[in-house]
Structure 1
Amino acid sequence: MRVKLLRWYLPFVLLAVAYGGYIAISSGNAEALKTEQVEVPLTVKVSHLRSGDHNVVITSHGEVVPVEITQLSAQVSGEVISWHPSFVPGGVVKEGEILFSIESENYNAAVLQAEADLATAQAALIEEKAKAEVAKRQAKNVPSNQVTDLYLRKPQVLSAQAQVKSALASLKRAKRDLDNCRVVAPYDALVVERNIGVGQYITAGTRVAVLNNIESAEIHVPIAGFDSVFLPEDYSGVTAKVTQKGVVNIEREGIIKRDLGVIDSATRMTSLVINVDDPYALSSDMSPLKFGSYVEVNFIGKTLKHIYRLPQELVNNRQVWIVNEDNELEPRTVNVLRAEQEFMLINEGLKDNDRLVWTVPEYPQKGTQVQLSTFNDESKQ
């Protein structure tokens, strides 16, 4: 009988023991899970913000062009008898150097003829003045009603004087034509084009060459609308840095001279004119900045007050992250006034001594508890 009862209760006893073991194991796992789920606060690097004044740097690009282009023409006709060795495309000539010469024998003869005509006219004037003086003395013995301007030879004297002036003018023209037989460079110039050769006969007005003034150069740089508000009040005379980028960068100094005074109908931009002295470095040991070069121009614009200068990677959709007084992550919406290279200029949304997060978590959440690690960076303000 007892054996039968034991057989009857044994399954229930085993079931109770198994259930008790399950409860014990489950309680241990729960404690273990609770232990594992203890969260460790994130560690982020922060820095205390400090605002400051910032000089806006305006950057644009443009092409180096000559200030002056001259289409050189001959002023007299004749045969070309010689030209300067540097008077070739790509050659550089100095102001006052003789570019080419025209046969001048006829013009020398014209000067001699004009001098002879002048001498004849001067002799005639002397003669007429002498006759007028004689007539003036004789008029004292003649009734006054008979003394006329013609009697005193005044018209003859005036005519002789006019002949002298005409002869002087002819002599001046002849000397000018003689001088123009030697065509000189009007300024330090780069020869772009030459259309003559020795033995060629040219007529007055014939275009013989194209010269570019290399005493100075200009760069016309467009200024976008969002940059124009940051231009200084008086930008005339402001220094600009001109850089031609390449294997070796060429840097020169320029001066803002003026703006073009119009807005481009296609781009809606205005343009500033930057002047660079001695672009071909004739009087210095600097690297030449050749016409046609594409360059970058940088100059200082307005000074902005109370500005925070932050790296672009910290500003996402006009939002940055700070750590509040409770050491919790907090998003801040900011106003980006301007982007400069890899930095954003911010004027609203932050205040001094805010703790800016430099190592933002991949999925930041507002209110996340964090630990702080101080981060120093020279680029912040």
Structure 2
Amino acid sequence: MNLKILLPILVLLAAVGAAWAIMATKPQVVQQSAESTVPSVNVVRVQPQSLRINVMSQGVAMPREAIDLVAEVGGKVVQVHTAMVAGGFFAANELLLTIDTRDYDYAIVAAEAQLAEANRVLINEQAQVEQAQSEWQALGEGEPSALALRKPQLAEAQAKLKAAEADLAKAKLNRSRCELRAPFAGRVLSKQAGLGQYIPSGTVVARIYASDVAEIRLPIGTDQLAFLELPLGHAATKSGHWPAVTLRAELAGKSHSWQGRIVRSEAALDDNSGQLYLVAQVAEPFRVVPDRPPLLSGLFVQAEIEGVVRDGLFALPRTALNSLQQAKLVDSQQRLEIRQVDVLRLEADRVIVKAGLNPGEKVVVSELPVPVAGMKVNAVEVPHETVQ
């Protein structure tokens, strides 16, 4: 009986002891100070600068001149230059293809014979004219007629001599056209005629292009023309009137660049896009340069056109503005201010502000989840690393 009474009492005492232990060891609530809830933000001190506003575009490198090499006379191809293959290089006035000249050599000989005959007839006619004049002076009376002095016959002989000379010149011209020469230094894009092939007059034997200069058409929005100094509306007398341009492209797994210059603008805005096309030129695109490949025809390139310099601008990282083009600033009391600014242009790695900021102000460049005007912040000044 004593055990039955004592056991419940012991269980009750154990439960009370456990409850007291739990109450005694519960975690204490630590009161945090208001200072620890103030967020830290990175800021930069802004100063007005003189910035060059370059304009970005893109295009495809193309040769300055591309033509069809056409045979002006017909005949059998008897010689082809080793460069007459797709991609072959050739020099200016280099002989690329020769057509069989024998028929044209024979034509020259025949024309020379006709010229000799016409010259003989003319000499004979001149002698007869002199004889007719002598006979008239000795026997004739009054004013002699042109026929009596054989003037029509002399004029005919002179005309036939000129015609024979022209036939000879034409025969020699046709003979010279048997040799197809390059009008400029360049490369072969494609070949349509081979050794031993008969080609009629007017046949395209190859497609060639000049390699001295590469051209790139660059579309520019009309709003971007404000950042470029272009001699629009009149001819530029010096190349220095047009801006320089840097072309960049990925080739063989590496990034490469070429220097060029804008040389002209096209005559009208594009009908579809409303953009103006500027034409850039790169001299000697195939010149060998260490660690840089040639500017291949057909290569897509990014272009950075040298723009004008403007004063009083502020260059900030893209993170300095929100989608509403508002900047977050920190005042002397370490409180946040949200201000609308006037953006001149957004670029890939920076934003250029033309109004709305004052020299020396602190602009927040780090992320702030829920910015509220007037909230307390801890400003940490960082170096200004914006690209100039």
TM-score (norm 1): 0.84
Does structure 1 conserve the Cα–Cα contact (< 8 Å) formed by 2:96 and 2:180?
yes
For structure 1, which segment, 75-84 or 365-374, has the greater mean C-alpha deviation from structure 2 after superposition? 365-374
Partner of 2:180: 183
Structure 2: how far apart are the matches of 1:375 and 1:196?
69
Structure 1: how far apart are the matches of 2:334 and 2:319?
22
> Shift of residue 342 of structure 1?
0.9
Partner of 1:351: 358
Would you say 1:39 and 2:44 are equivalent positions?
no
For structure 1, which segment, 163-172 or 296-305, has the greater mean C-alpha deviation from structure 2 after superposition? 296-305
Structure 2: how far apart are the matches of 1:207 and 1:243?
35
Structure 2: how far apart are the matches of 1:90 and 1:69?
13
Does structure 1 conserve the Cα–Cα contact (< 8 Å) formed by 2:79 and 2:99?
yes
1:68 to 62, 65, 68: 65
> Shift of residue 238 of structure 1?
2.0
Would you say 1:192 and 2:195 are equivalent positions?
no
Structure 2: how far apart are the matches of 1:89 and 1:347?
53
> Shift of residue 296 of structure 1?
0.9
* SS in structure 1 of the partner of residue 254 of structure 2: coil
> Shift of residue 293 of structure 1?
0.7
Which digits, 9 at most, give the CA deviation of each residue in 1:268-317, with x for residues without a partner?
322111122222227x6662111111111111123223111110011112
1:332 to 302, 326, 339: 339
Partner of 1:224: 221
Partner of 2:77: 80
Does structure 1 conserve the Cα–Cα contact (< 8 Å) formed by 2:63 and 2:213?
yes
1:364 to 345, 366, 371: 371
Structure 1: how far apart are the matches of 2:218 and 2:309?
21
1:238 to 231, 234, 243: 243
Letter of the aligned partner of 2:375 in structure 1? Answer: T
Partner of 1:208: 205
Letter of the aligned partner of 1:219 in structure 2? Answer: I
Pair 203,290 (structure 1): closer, same or farther in 2 beyond 3 Å:
same
Pair 108,331 (structure 1): closer, same or farther in 2 beyond 3 Å:
same
2:49 to 43, 47, 52: 52
Residues matched between the structures, number:
349
Which digits, 9 at most, give the CA deviation of each residue in 1:118-168, with x for residues without a partner?
122122222222322333344433555341222222222211111111111
Does structure 1 conserve the Cα–Cα contact (< 8 Å) formed by 2:246 and 2:305?
yes
Letter of the aligned partner of 2:373 in structure 1? Answer: K
Does structure 2 conserve the Cα–Cα contact (< 8 Å) formed by 1:308 and 1:380?
no
- Aligned residue runs from structure 1 range 171-320, under 5 A: 171-234=168-231, 237-246=242-251, 247-281=253-287, 287-316=293-322, 317-320=324-327
Letter of the aligned partner of 2:55 in structure 1? Answer: I
Does structure 2 conserve the Cα–Cα contact (< 8 Å) formed by 1:223 and 1:272?
yes
Pair 207,360 (structure 1): closer, same or farther in 2 beyond 3 Å:
closer
Does structure 2 conserve the Cα–Cα contact (< 8 Å) formed by 1:80 and 1:103?
yes
Letter of the aligned partner of 1:124 in structure 2? Answer: V
Pair 38,249 (structure 1): closer, same or farther in 2 beyond 3 Å:
closer
Partner of 1:7: none
* SS in structure 2 of the partner of residue 39 of structure 1: helix
Letter of the aligned partner of 1:258 in structure 2? Answer: R
Structure 2: how far apart are the matches of 1:159 and 1:252?
66
* SS in structure 2 of the partner of residue 245 of structure 1: strand
2:97 to 72, 95, 100: 100
Which digits, 9 at most, give the CA deviation of each residue in 1:76-96, with x for residues without a partner?
111111211111122222222
Does structure 1 conserve the Cα–Cα contact (< 8 Å) formed by 2:319 and 2:367?
no
Letter of the aligned partner of 1:350 in structure 2? Answer: L
TM-score (norm 2): 0.82
Which digits, 9 at most, give the CA deviation of each residue in 1:211-242, with x for residues without a partner?
12222221112112432332323276322111
Pair 113,371 (structure 1): closer, same or farther in 2 beyond 3 Å:
same
Partner of 2:16: none
> Shift of residue 371 of structure 1?
4.6
Does structure 1 conserve the Cα–Cα contact (< 8 Å) formed by 2:57 and 2:219?
yes
Does structure 2 conserve the Cα–Cα contact (< 8 Å) formed by 1:111 and 1:171?
yes
Letter of the aligned partner of 1:195 in structure 2? Answer: Q
Q: Percent identity?
A: 29
Structure 2: how far apart are the matches of 1:327 and 1:144?
129
TM-align CA RMSD: 2.5
Does structure 2 conserve the Cα–Cα contact (< 8 Å) formed by 1:80 and 1:100?
yes
Structure 1: how far apart are the matches of 2:369 and 2:114?
100
> Shift of residue 370 of structure 1?
4.0
Does structure 2 conserve the Cα–Cα contact (< 8 Å) formed by 1:56 and 1:230?
yes
Stretches of structure 2 that go unaligned for 5 or more consecutive residues are 1-27, 233-240
* SS in structure 2 of the partner of residue 152 of structure 1: coil
Does structure 1 conserve the Cα–Cα contact (< 8 Å) formed by 2:242 and 2:261?
yes
Structure 1: how far apart are the matches of 2:243 and 2:141?
78
Structure 1: how far apart are the matches of 2:163 and 2:209?
39
Structure 1: how far apart are the matches of 2:387 and 2:256?
30
